[in-house]
Amino acid sequence: MRFLSGGESHGSALIGIIEGLPAGLELSAEAINRQLARRQHGYGRGGRMAIENDQVEFLSGLRFGRTLGSPLTLAIRNRDWENWRQAMAPEGERPPELEAVTAPRPGHADLAGALKYNHCDLRAVLERASARETAMRTAIGTVGRMILERFGVSFYSRVRAIGPAAVEQGDDDYDPETLKEKAVLVEASPVRCACPAAEAAMLAAVERARREGDTLGGIFEVIVVGLPPGLGSHVHWERRLDGRLAAAVMSIQGIKGVEIGAGFSGAAARGSALHDPIIVAGDSGIKRPSNQAGGLEGGITNGQPLIMRAAMKPIPTLARPLPSVDLATGEAVSGAVERSDVCAVPPAAVVGEAVVAWELAIAFLEKFGGDTMDEVEAAYHYYMERVKRMLRQG
């Protein structure tokens, strides 16, 4: 299973094509639109979110709410396209009055992209490099999510830090019932944080950065509960699921670090204190009393909750821009100013859920794949019965 997406931030639409979906998967625009709406929320968002109201359209591969086995094509129209028809016209001559963007923003793809593709107008880079692209990745990831939810898998995300404001160490209960309860608070929070004290500090930090013409990054966490053991593989480097998931999350704009389970903090611990014991818990079989591994061992899911965190850098578009150079004149100037967010960590957490869901869905279909969802379900249930027998014997 794979996808290809296209479209620019201010083009007419974002397009996605998914190949390899089994036939018979139930999909609805409503379910995808709920995730798109979650992506648009969050304290610190810019004016673009007041314009767009993202809605997905199915253009192929779906009939009466079920996949056909053929490529699934999705579209998300850009409402702001009406204001950009002239500047982003696919055909015709460039209007002589159209001003080129020539001052690259430090920290953005502007300069590197211009050098690679020989662009004199940085808009040819920034339109595709924009995080607007993640709207389609959220829609595509939701398709993967809907595969996994059919098998009892649940997804959660929450913000751990925005700038210097952070949730205190120890506030990290991963019990499935607790996660459900906290998810209600997270969804109601403008910064996707269930801790009232940390939420207040995050809101204050964002507001302070806004007043000062600055931006903030932070840390978000994605948790997945209900995954079967055995997704991924230890036998080849590119099949290790931890590497695949890290790459997926790192591909989100602005992400500069990823950890799984104890992650970086585990580097300071002794092995005897870090690794999760394997014990026999009565008639229920083999159990793990802790989850420092974050649900992955040897690049394979082990049946515990998957726990990932990502560090997002501050957005590079600043109201008070950093020094730059005009590529057209060679003169020292300030970096270009585009409409942007002050902080995008809360919506990045939602995008994180989506890209993790997509990568997990690929691994799931590698393990239990078939041409139809009935075949996938049969393979899944057969395998899970075998796993349960092995765990009980242990």
Summarised one tens digit per residue, pLDDT across range 179-190 is 999 999 999 999
Confidence of residue 286 (pLDDT cuts 50, 70, 90): confident
Query: For the segment 322-339, what is each residue's pLDDT rounded down to a tens digit?
Result: 999 999 999 999 998 887
Within a domain: 372: yes
Query: For the segment 246-278, what is each residue's pLDDT rounded down to a tens digit?
Result: 999 999 999 999 999 999 999 999 999 999 999
Q: Which residue has the higher pLDDT, 305 or 46?
A: 305
Residue 102 near residue 122 (C-beta atoms within 8 A): yes
Is 48's pLDDT higher than 60? no
Q: Which residue has the higher pLDDT, 42 or 187?
A: 187
- The count of structural domains within the chain is 1
Q: Which domain holds residue 310?
A: 2-89+100-393
Within a domain: 371: yes
Cα–Cα distance measured from residue 183 to residue 185, given in angstroms and rounded to the nearest whole number: 5
Within a domain: 79: yes
Within a domain: 95: no
Is 285's pLDDT higher than 80? no
* Helix, strand, coil percentages in the chain from 3-state DSSP, rounded to 5: 40, 20, 40
Maximum separation of any 2 CA atoms in the chain, in Å: 78
Is 171's pLDDT higher than 80? no
| pTM for the model | 0.95
Is beta strand 279-280 parallel, antiparallel or unpaired with respect to 286-287?
antiparallel
Query: For the segment 215-224, what is each residue's pLDDT rounded down to a tens digit?
Result: 999 999 999 9
Within a domain: 198: yes
> Kind and range of the H or E element at 1?
none
Tell me the CATH number at 127: 3.60.150.10
Within a domain: 309: yes
